[in-house]
Amino acid sequence: MKRRSFVALAAATTAFAGTARAQGTWPDKPITIVVPAPPGGGTDLVTRMYADLLGQELGQQVIVDNKGGGNGNIGTSLVARAKPDGYTLLMQYSAYHSANPALIKDLNWKPDDFVGVAMGAVAPHVIVIAKKVPAEDLKSFIAYAKANKGKLNYASVGAGSVPHLGGVLLNKAAGIDLTHIPYKGAGPATQDLVAGQVELMIVTPPSVSGHIRSGNVKALALASDTRHPAFPEIPTAAEAGLPGFVLDGWFALFAPAGTPQPIVDKLNAAMRKIGKMEAVVARASQLGTVLKDWSPGEMNSFAKGEVETWGKVIRDNNITFTE
């Protein structure tokens, strides 16, 4: 009995020491942040805003790996199955995390497969239209849409995304009938909006901020309670004649569930430090986003609430993946 107890104690001590060494030396090789969307969209831009600086803080290269497709599920499931050692992370877009579980049957991952690390950025959505559309404000666009019922399209970054759900809610709130055209990410959706292939898009500012400033698209309203300092000329939806139309998107860093807490805490501390840097604050504002100084616990609590909120929207509006 004593011999077995000694062997068990020795094995447990060795395992604990190995784990402690691993956590103590982490990171000792490059870290990969998977972006479950193509380059050029909001998730990609926010990730790259942090990546190099995060590498400097941690003393290792941080690689951004775009794994778009499958409505975000290709990249998301890859990280869900990754070893929880802090070397494979996920910069997740809000709707992929919050809406897909309610939207897609037989999903090969679930929100509990991840632990929240830190909030990258929160972005109120902006309603933008193609330059060719003969409207200069939200009221005139709604009138134009009513006069052309069933003839206008709106783009989204994928079925079940906030831009998709936002379009459903816009149709309902404004009494119009825009047809949903899903794309594989904000990059290709924005390209078609600029080209005039679709008439409207509801999207986070990072994806279209440059096009708004250059006049390639027309911004009608910000789906927020307040105007954004980077775009003071864009009215809120309420100011534009659509009260109560508020849509926030977010981009957050997650790790596979089971990642040791000391690693999560170290990542969180580095992300929050970067989020206070003057250059990052300026860049975030330029992109039309807001930074949040949140702990892992705050991030996890928020993400759980978002899953419940958007799941209800999807069920209440009978939204399906094929819309």
Considering the entire predicted model, what is its pTM?
0.77
Cα separation, 121 vs 141, in Å, equals 30
7-62 pLDDT per residue, tens: 444 455 444 444 444 456 999 999 999 999 989 888 999 999 999 999 999 999 99
Q: Which of 305, 304, 323, 43 is nearest to 169 (CA)?
A: 323
* Alpha helices (H) in 104-204, listed in sequence order: 138-147, 162-174, 186-194
Q: Which CATH class is domain 124-248?
A: alpha beta
Beta partners for residue 288, in sequence order: none
Structural domain spans, the chain: 2-122+250-316, 124-248
Q: Which residues of 256-283 are buried (b: 16+ CB within 10 A; e: fewer)?
A: beebbeebbebbbebbbebbeeeebeeb
Query: Confidence band (pLDDT; 50, 70, 90) for 243?
Result: very high
Strand segments (E) across the chain: 31-35, 62-66, 88-93, 114-130, 153-156, 179-182, 200-203, 217-223, 248-256
* Domain 2-122+250-316 shares a fold with domain 124-248: yes
51-101 pLDDT per residue, tens: 999 999 999 999 999 999 888 899 999 999 999 999 999 999 988 999 999
CATH no. of 2-122+250-316: 3.40.190.150
